[in-house]
């Protein structure tokens, strides 16, 4: 996984927007080159073919970059390294649940240490 990949929402959204605009740019260029202008000159046709190959290669490369980004996002999400939520509601609920659980465990420990003491006193008194 790429360690230089930004892990915050604005940077990731910026990268997605950049890839999106590049895909649109290359696709529009291909559509523009595919238009027939009634020019049957071999040089013009060869130039258009070359430009179409260049734009197609650039479009494929941009889509491969998008697939790489998707894969990296999936890995980051899977391994818990994707920090796009920050201190959201889910984290707050998780923290509250953890505090409640810690409180219950503390009460159980206190009750557990108090109960054997009472039982030992009952045995000694009998």
Could you tell me the residue ranges of all domains in the chain? 1-84, 87-126
> What is the CB neighbour count within 10 angstroms for residue 121?
10
Q: Tokens 């465990």 appear where?
A: 105
Which tokens is 42 given? 């071999």
Torsional class of 36: left (φ above 0), alpha (ψ -120 to 50), beta (otherwise): beta
Q: Phi first, then psi: give them for residue 94, nearest 5 degrees.
A: -65, -40
In which band, very low, low, confident or very high, does the pLDDT at 54 lie, cut at 50, 70 and 90? very high
The per-residue pLDDT for 123 is 47
Which tokens is 120 given? 């030992």
| Long-range contact pairs involving 57-60 (C-beta distance under 8 Å, separation at least 24) | 58/22, 58/26, 59/23, 59/26, 59/27, 59/30
Cβ 53 vs Cβ 34: under 8 Å: no
The per-residue pLDDT for 90 is 64
In which band, very low, low, confident or very high, does the pLDDT at 126 lie, cut at 50, 70 and 90? very low
The pLDDT tens digits of the residues spanning 11-53 come to 888 999 999 999 999 999 999 988 877 777 888 888 889 999 9
Cβ 76 vs Cβ 7: under 8 Å: yes
């Amino acid at each position: 996984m790429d360690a230089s990949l930004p892990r915050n929402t604005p940077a990731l959204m910026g990268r997605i927007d950049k890839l999106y605009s590049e895909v649109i740019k290359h696709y529009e260029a291909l559509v523009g080159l595919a238009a027939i202008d009634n020019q049957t000159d071999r040089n013009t046709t060869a130039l258009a073919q070359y430009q179409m190959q260049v734009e197609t290669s650039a479009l494929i490369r941009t889509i491969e970059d998008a697939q790489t980004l998707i894969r990296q996002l999936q890995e980051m999400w899977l391994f818990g390294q994707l920090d796009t939520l920050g201190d959201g509601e889910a984290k707050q609920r998780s923290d509250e649940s953890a505090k409640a659980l810690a409180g219950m465990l503390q009460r159980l420990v206190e009750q557990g240490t108090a109960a054997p003491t009472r039982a030992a006193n009952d045995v000694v008194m009998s």
